[in-house]
Amino acid sequence: MAARGLHHVTAIAGPARVNLDFYTRILGLRLVKRTVNFDDPGTWHLYFGDEAGRPGTILTFFPWAHAAPGSLGIGETQETAFRVPLGSLGWWAHHLVERGVEHETPTTVLGSRVLRFKDPHGTRLALVGVPGIEAEAAAGLGEVPADHAIRGFFGVTLLLERAAPTAQILTEVFGFEAAGEDGSVSRYRVPGQSLGAVVDIREVGGFPRGRSGAGTVHHIAFRAAGDEDQAAMVERLTGMGLAVTGQKDRNYFRSVYFREPGGVLFEIATDVPGFAVDEAPESLGRELKLPAFLEASRKTIAERLPAID
């Protein structure tokens, strides 16, 4: 059974320039790809990640300038968490305060120190202090020096009415294993994986459903090595009675989508071909990239997109 963890998380933001500034300057992530929402090409689709754009580090956004704020509820991703060196949490707390970003008092969840905060449009984020990752490669970008830089995803927290049906998907399809409980939170982890290896499920029966909008997560994607790996996962899902879409070519990965039992939109995305398929690794994120079917409309699309530089 394949067991690789998260590929990316996609959320909804407000104005694109504010979104870009926060994630590149304040959080120190690299703009890995600037493209458009393939289904709404008048809207940016911005990809942020590590220097190489590796799966397990990518947070993407659909930024709509006039998006109404969303509201958190069951059937949604409550929080997206990044990995930082354990000794860097103090630096990050000071950095966020200096930049006017409010944060909660650090707390301990299932043995990990966690610093929670929100981006300018309300997206719930966290930094998790992880011991022993200081030697991992990290570029110093924006205002964040390499010593304190984010090192990919820690994981996500799902807010669900019932944990068990979703836990079955995680363990029987994606290869996660139960890794502890803390009150209403159950942790699932991919053994032997570091990036994007954790999914926490917070069970809150009777909590109201949320509303999609700025500050909410649109979907989360799990990794598949390639088409064969993805097809095997789809076969297991359909055998469990779940409806899965046909494969969609997203240029940098190939995807299928389904609603897991708790209502969260899940994607399975292939690791291949990767973000360097249409621009050199050292040039990632510098130019507008479009899929072949939109190239004929490049001039019109470029003129409609909000300025971000």
| Four-residue CA torsion sign, 108, 111, 115, 116 | negative
Supply φ then ψ for residue 49, to 5 degrees: -170, -155
Q: Quick one: which of 245, 22, 189, 242 has its CA closest to 118?
A: 22
Share of the chain above pLDDT 90, in %: 95
CA–CA gap between residue 32 and residue 81 (Å, rounded): 19
Q: Quick one: which of 189, 169, 124 has its CA closest to 268?
A: 169
Residue 19 pairs in a beta bridge with none
Whether the CB-CB separation of 232 and 244 falls below 8 Å is answered with no
pLDDT tens, 14-71? 999 999 999 999 999 999 999 999 999 999 999 999 999 999 999 999 999 999 999 9
CA–CA gap between residue 287 and residue 35 (Å, rounded): 8
pLDDT tens, 182-239? 999 999 999 999 999 999 999 998 889 989 999 999 999 999 999 999 999 999 999 9
The pLDDT score that the predictor gives to residue 309 is 86
The pLDDT score that the predictor gives to residue 4 is 87
The pLDDT score that the predictor gives to residue 2 is 64
Q: Quick one: which of 47, 27, 62 has its CA closest to 277?
A: 47
- Residue 1, pLDDT above cutoff 70: no
pLDDT grade for 286, boundaries at 50, 70 and 90: very high
The pLDDT score that the predictor gives to residue 205 is 85
Average pLDDT, the chain: 96
CA–CA gap between residue 56 and residue 103 (Å, rounded): 24
The pLDDT score that the predictor gives to residue 234 is 98
Supply φ then ψ for residue 67, to 5 degrees: -65, 130
Share of the chain above pLDDT 70, in %: 99
CA–CA gap between residue 21 and residue 114 (Å, rounded): 24
The pLDDT of 116-143, averaged and rounded, is: 95
- Residue 170, pLDDT above cutoff 70: yes
The pLDDT score that the predictor gives to residue 223 is 98
pLDDT grade for 166, boundaries at 50, 70 and 90: very high
The pLDDT score that the predictor gives to residue 207 is 86
Chain-centre distance for alpha carbon 13: 13
- Residue 137, pLDDT above cutoff 90: no
